[in-house]
Every structure is written in C-alpha cells, then in structure tokens.
Structure 1
Amino acid sequence: MATPLTAEQLLAALLAEGVTVVEHEGWRTHNRNHVGAWGPVNGVMIHHTVSSGTDSSVELCYDGYSSLPGPLCHGVIAKDGTVYLVGNGRANHAGGGDPAVLQAVITETYGDRPPTPTEHQGSAGAVDGNTRFYGFECINLGDGADPWPAAQLDAIERVSAAICRAHNWGAKSVIGHLEWSDWKVDPRGFAMPGMRERVQGRLSAAPTKTAPAATRPATPLYQPFPGASFFKECPSSPIVTAMGRRLVAEGCSAYSVGPGPRWTEADRDSYARWQRKLGFSGSDADGWPGHTSWTALKVPYAK
C-alpha cells in the first residue's frame, strides 16, 4: 500500500521516464474525492476508451457523462504516445472488482496472470478499485481490429513503469481492467502479460528518455469566453465563425448567408435564440454572449 502521488510527483515521475505529457487545464484538482476514498493505492490499471479521435476522447475522459461523471481516468494515452493528464485523485475508472485480484497485486505473488476475477461492480464481494488504482485510458475502439501503434504501447510501458518506480512496485502491480472485473474485456488487442514483461524490463534499468519528454499546456477543446466587450467591438475573427456554426448546429440560426468571421446582427439574433433556448429571457436574452451561455454552447477552439 502507498500514499498516492501528488500532481507534482506524478508529473515528475512521468517526465523522468520519458513520457510526452499534455496537462489538461484543471487536471490537478479534478477528481471524485468527495464521494469516496483515494488511496492507499496498490497499482496501475490499463483500459481502452472504445472511441477514436484524440480531442473527443480526452474530452470524454475529463468530463464523463451523466451516469458516470469525470474524470474517468488519470491520463489518456493517445495513438501517438502523448499522455493527456485529466485527473488527480479518485477517478471513475475501475469500479468494483475481485478482492483476490487486489491481494495478488498487493503481494505481487501471482504467475503469468492474476487469479481470474469473479466479481464486478455491484456484486456482493466486490471491492472499490477507484480507491486503489491509478487508471489510464488508451484511445482504441476495442474491437480487436483497431491497431495499437508502437508509440502508444511504448507510452503504456513508460507510464506504468514511472508509477511503479515512484512507489517501488514491480510490474505485477500493473493490470488490465479485464483482470480486475469479470464484466470487462479491456484492453483488447494486446496481452497484459507481455506488457508486464516490458514494464519489468524497463524497471530493471535506470529511467531513459529516448522518447521526447515534454510538458505543454493543452490546446483548449473549447474556445474560452473572450469577454462581452469582444463582440461589441464588431470583431472579424474565426471565433465568430466557430460560434456561428455551433448556433446553426443547435437550430438557432438567423443567418441568410454564412456564418462568417465578421460579427453582424445575424450573429446577435442567432445568439439570442440560443439564450432563449437555454431559458433566458428579457435582458438576459439580448443576443450579447455571456459567460454561462457561451460555456454551454461549447464553441470549438478556433486556431
């Protein structure tokens, strides 16, 4: 058992192992600690996302959805090997699992694989894996046909080794979701015993940085609110175009042509429709964007 790494310790461990890291805005305080314990921790759990596309997968893992709020993991491992940190603390990734598997991970005494799980979320004997495991979601459709690029497998190896090294664990502290719960099949497309061999090989040597190690701010998935005054100056900007396209998609178009980059009365009329759709009225639905309605619109980041 171990005390969870702080955000700074986790980031430092990943960088020392040569992992390319992108820090999603807010990841250091994004967690589910208010609904249950985070720690003591015993291992690392690997998942696949059943999705494609980096931006949308990172968004899903950060936000979650109505029945399972985010974060859905601590990091998302993209096809190119980049690791997007999306949470720090308890995350909704492991769910209930088999206590015999947990004990085998703690003692690291199993052979090729942990004992076959017989428990799952909601079953009588299940234990809470969200308390005990770091979770990493790997972008893959999980259909057995979607490929696992070498860079992605290398990142899984490095991430796992980084956390094991930080806690003085061996590779048997790294398991797949399918080895934890009898309901799960992930990760599908590579074998966890082989991955553990790779992790153990890495742990047998000093950390190397043959992969490009860097940390950089994440490109926002959505355009931050530029402020009310931005629109009242009648800007010409790709932000206005991106906003207009979202208004059209939401069925709030008052455009006869466009939308385009120049702010016009058609933009204001369209935005007023969006405000009314959200339930605003009177001066709160005057067509001038505000922070709340802008956040709800989820305008894609305009490069």
Structure 2
Amino acid sequence: MANPLSADALVKALKAEGVTVVEHDGWRTHNRNHKGAWGPVNGVVVHHTVTSGSDATVRICRDGYSSLPGPLCHGVITKDGKVHLVGHGRANHAGRGDSDVLGAVVVEKYGSTPPRPNEMDTDGNPRFYGFECENLGDGKDPWPDAQLAAIERASAAICRAHGWTAKSVIGHKEWTNTKSDPRGFTMPDMRARIAKRLGGKPSGGGSSGGGDDKPKPAVSLAHIIAAARKDPPAAQGHTTHETEVKRVEHALAAEGLLASNWVDGSFGTKTLTAYGTWQRRCGYTGRDADGIPGRNSLRALGKRHGFTVTD
C-alpha cells in the first residue's frame, strides 16, 4: 500500500529483514506534519550525512539545525550497521526534486537509473522514506560491509512491506541535481542487492509483515472497463461491479489521486479523471490516458496496492 507504515509496522518490517534497530526517545511522534501531510509514500531516498561519529550524526539528524529543523530523516544508518529511528512522519530530507523522477519511481519503469533530474517542481518530503547514512561524502570515507548491508536490508524491508521493487529506492542525487549523495557506492549496485534480497524471504527470523502467503483479491479488467463506460453518464450513485470498483478507487485514493469521499463503488467522472491521471503517471498520453483502464496500467496499480488483474 502507499499509505505510510505505522511506527509499529515499520519496526516489525525492519526486524523481520534482520536489521538491528535502535529506537530513540520520542521518535514515533517526532515529525514535521504541521507543515503538511506525510503520504502517500512512493519510495525510499538514501542520503549521506557529511558527518563523522555515530552519536553526533544521530543527534544532528534527530534535531536538525536552526535553518533546517529535524528530523532530517526517518532512520540514521551508522557505520556499525545499526538503524537508529529518529522520526516518523514528514521529515526534512528529500526536499524539492523532479516530478519525472517521481513518476518513474511510482510505476517502477526505468533503466539502470531514473530520468536525470533537471527540475525542482515537486516536494519529496511527503512522498519518500529517508535514510541518512553516516559518511563524510568525500568519496574516500569507507562504507563498511555492515553499513551497506543495513542500507540493503532497511530498504528491502520497506519495499517488501509495500509490495514495491528495488526501483522504488533512489539516491538523493537521483532526485535532484543539487545534491551528490550518496557518494562512495552506486545506486544501481545497491538496487541490484535489494532486488536480490527481495527475491527471497526475509532473513531476520520474524514475520514478513507483508501478508505474502495470503491470496490477493482479484479485479476483472472486463468488469472495470464496463464500469468506466457505464457509470459516468448514469444517475449519481449508479454502480457497476461495485466491490471491484471500490478496490480500484481505494488504490487511486492511496496514490493521492482521488478524494476519499469519492471511494463509493461508482466509476463516475471523478474516478475516471483520477484513473486518467494514473495512466499519465504510467507514461500514457492522449486517448491512451482517457480514464478507461487498460491491462498494463491496471496491473501496475494492482501491483502497488495488493490486487491481481484477471480478464
């Protein structure tokens, strides 16, 4: 799902992936939510801190600076491989970046790297989890194996919990052209590590927290197309295949495309418009983004929100 994990669910997912978690006082309610909502979330951003010393690094990321209040991330990954949780909610970490990058991450469709960022037209703080990693960022400060493994495990934990692939994990420098982090390892290599981990079960000995063993609900493409064609011109409240339409509407609402009061089981004009916006996120244009679902766009939505698509 694209709603942020609860604090409990985040801890459970991290521990299930074998992460050593350190919970700092007050982290569950430490956030910048008064500046705006956190979510829907679409991925993970990895940073380096340009600091040294674990205690000082955690303190800075928790408290921030006078010009940039904390938390500056959700978790701090220190050189010993521990993940220090310092915030839960909106955090000052991603800043403004490129909407084309966000679109590529949402549909998880790009090559070895996302599109090169060249605009700063989208606020990433509501849309991403953030991990700050203790490193001077000079290209010389080493990245211990334990720390790289923790980045891999923490990122995989969040991806597994949401049903995302490794392409939902990006570096800060892949989000905006004003940053250079992380420096010292490559994000394509890290995504390859995360993808390999996601190919197996969590190795931490706990529950996956993702419900992978439960059968996913199904949505019929034919039923959804029928609803999208019949409901808009009909009287208000007319529903066709209501249960399946609601499933699609809940997914659109989680993506921030449909107001919750329109999750009503009717594929009316509001839902049609929202689905057209989803199609454009998937790269479609013109008549291919008219709001009438197609197989590939519906499968992409289902993959992110826990349903399968049948004919």
> TM-score band, normalised by the shorter chain?
0.5 to 0.7
How far apart, CA to CA, are the structure 2 residues paired with 1:12 and 1:29? 17
How far apart, CA to CA, are the structure 2 residues paired with 1:39 and 1:113? 24
2:123 corresponds to 1:128: yes
Per-residue deviation at 1:37?
Answer: 1.6
Give aligned pairs, total: 206
2:192 corresponds to 1:197: yes
Structure 2 partner of 1:258: none
How far apart, CA to CA, are the structure 2 residues paired with 1:209 and 1:8? 16
Per-residue deviation at 1:36?
Answer: 1.2
User: CA deviation digits over 1:50-73, x for unaligned, max 9?
Assistant: 000000000000000111000000
2:34 corresponds to 1:39: no
User: CA deviation digits over 1:72-122, x for unaligned, max 9?
Assistant: 0000000010010000000000000000000000000101000000023xx
How far apart, CA to CA, are the structure 1 residues paired with 2:105 and 2:61? 25
Structure 2 partner of 1:8: 8
2:114 corresponds to 1:119: no
Match for residue 178 of structure 2 among 173, 176, 183: 183
How far apart, CA to CA, are the structure 1 residues paired with 2:99 and 2:3? 20
Matched letter for residue 47 of structure 2: H
Per-residue deviation at 1:139?
Answer: 0.0
How far apart, CA to CA, are the structure 1 residues paired with 2:35 and 2:73? 15
User: CA deviation digits over 1:247-289, x for unaligned, max 9?
Assistant: xxxxxxxxxxxxxxxxxxxxxxxxxxxxxxxxxxxxxxxxxxx
Matched letter for residue 199 of structure 1: I
Identity score, percent: 70
Structure 1 partner of 2:237: none
2:177 corresponds to 1:160: no
Per-residue deviation at 1:209?
Answer: 2.4
How far apart, CA to CA, are the structure 2 residues paired with 1:77 and 1:119? 29
Structure 1 partner of 2:95: 95
Q: Which runs of 5+ in 1 are unaligned?
A: 121-125, 211-303
How far apart, CA to CA, are the structure 2 residues paired with 1:95 and 1:20? 27
Normalised by the length of structure 1, the TM-score is: 0.67
Structure 2 partner of 1:66: 66
2:15 corresponds to 1:20: no
Structure 2 partner of 1:84: 84
Structure 2 partner of 1:146: 141
Matched letter for residue 155 of structure 1: A
SS of equivalent to 1:131: coil
Normalised by the length of structure 2, the TM-score is: 0.65
User: CA deviation digits over 1:2-57, x for unaligned, max 9?
Assistant: 00001000000000000001001000000000001200000000000000000000
How far apart, CA to CA, are the structure 1 residues paired with 2:139 and 2:93? 21
Matched letter for residue 158 of structure 1: R
How far apart, CA to CA, are the structure 2 residues paired with 1:3 and 1:117? 25
Q: Which 4+ residue blocks in structure 1 deviate beyond 2 angstroms? A: none
Per-residue deviation at 1:188?
Answer: 0.3
Q: RMSD value over aligned CA atoms?
A: 1.2
Structure 2 partner of 1:280: none
How far apart, CA to CA, are the structure 2 residues paired with 1:192 and 1:119? 20
Per-residue deviation at 1:171?
Answer: 0.2
Structure 2 partner of 1:242: none
Structure 1 partner of 2:307: none
Matched letter for residue 29 of structure 1: T
Structure 2 partner of 1:75: 75
